[in-house]
Structure 1
């Protein structure tokens, strides 16, 4: 069970991560691999609404997806999109990426190799990683316009759907930590992280929600 205090701090991080973009027509949608098949469903929905002519799913496996998605994140995403009615010819799959930076870089390289011109990207992620995905894409793919998209649901609804509150809170803490640490490493653009967000993240970290923290980092 998650205490009321931890739930309140998680809401602060959840709200901060949402970019508030309105999906619109873009050159391509890129669905970032994760444990959450909802990413594939959002990307498929964007295609079916006519907002993109092509979808790229990117992702190998991680410790949180190895058992859930044994064929790889991108492969499972593609299967779900096809179940929803996206034609096979409208889906490209990138199966090697193991982090957000590689998701962006390898997707960019795949599209260039296929000769697909890209001026704008609908970047589809888990709801609580929109800001991290945006900051990474702006650093590694600066010439394109980035529009973030994710499942439009509340924190409580998301946790209920995943079925693992600790995993979600671990992920929230890890995502904010990366926003503070990664710009200095050249992995993403710098973004202001307000003091209330830092405080909420610190309280959750100190309470033991550390499963996705970078080893040796204390920000």
Structure 2
């Protein structure tokens, strides 16, 4: 398994990766008022810390927690994280969706009252997280005004614009608040590059972090190959600041110089 030292190599690359991570992990925590929140949505991912914090916010706000996640690309990784965190004695992950697995933990281990839990168990990607969440709320006759959306920090920006697109034709769309629960960052500690000490446990392996980062930047682009209106049309236009674009190109160039690594990551 590659380390961050193998991939990142220089302080300049660490800076570039951190800038992209902060761009992707859109964080509205400074303006979230739990007293005004009437729904927390957690989009299924493999970082258990995001689900635990989403649960804590729903408890604090006294509002429903909607867990969105069927069986998708991250399901196996989520179930591995459940075992690594010691929840296997509480949760049966075999043949269970992401929402069901996390829901069991939320009630049994994190103290969420079961009546606050809503499960959406069919979505397999960000687009379906948004569309199926809207369908579930309509099915339940719910029209929340202020929704906090929680996702893997690397997919937070794309998830937010996807939710906004899903409600774009609504006469009274809710206000969405973006909360990745933490913003990832790399630091040099004891002569090696690693995650900042303030971050939660159970984070991405180095190769997966860089692969997700580069993949997200490619998807966000409004080009023929991207997810924007001029491409696949999954998301609205996203403006990528020149500074972030420069960081992205720098990381791409650096990885391209590492024999075999770019192919493995992309």
Q: TM-score, normalised by structure 1?
A: 0.86
Q: Tell me the CA shift for residue 117 of structure 1.
A: 1.8
Distance 1:201 1:136, change over 3 A: same
Structure 2 residues without counterparts, runs of 5 or longer: 80-92, 186-194, 256-260
1:26-45 alignment runs, 5 A limit: 26-45=37-56
Contact 2:65 2:116 in 1 (8 A): yes
Asked which structure has the greater CA Rg, the reply is 2
Distance 1:114 1:159, change over 3 A: closer
Query: Helix, strand or coil for the counterpart of 2:228?
Result: helix
Deviates more, 1:41-50 or 1:15-24: 15-24
Secondary structure at the counterpart of residue 66 of structure 1: helix
1:90 aligns with 2:116: yes
Task: Name the counterpart of 1:169.
Answer: 210
| Contact 1:18 1:131 (8 Å CA) reproduced | yes
Whether the 8 Å CA contact 1:57–1:94 is kept in 2: the answer is: yes
Q: By how many angstroms is 1:27 displaced?
A: 2.3
Partner of 1:59: 69
| Cα distance in structure 1, aligned partners of 2:154 and 2:202 | 14
Q: Call closer, same or farther: CA 1:163–1:99 in 2, change over 3 Å.
A: closer
Q: Which runs of 5+ in 1 are unaligned?
A: 214-219
Structure 1's 183 and 190: CA in aligned 2 closer, same or farther, altered over 3 A?
same
Deviations 1:55-113 (A, max 9, x none): 11011233343254242221222123211111111111111111101001001101110
- Alignment length (residue pairs): 212
Q: Distance in 2 between matches of 1:98 and 1:211?
A: 23
Q: Is the 2:73–2:124 Cα contact (8 Å) retained in structure 1?
A: no
Q: Which residue in the other structure is 1:191 paired with? A: 238
Aligned residues of 1:66 and 1:72 also touching (Cα < 8 A): no
TM-score by length of 2: 0.72
Q: Note if contact 2:41-2:67 (Cα within 8 Å) is conserved in structure 1.
A: yes
Aligned to 2:97: 72
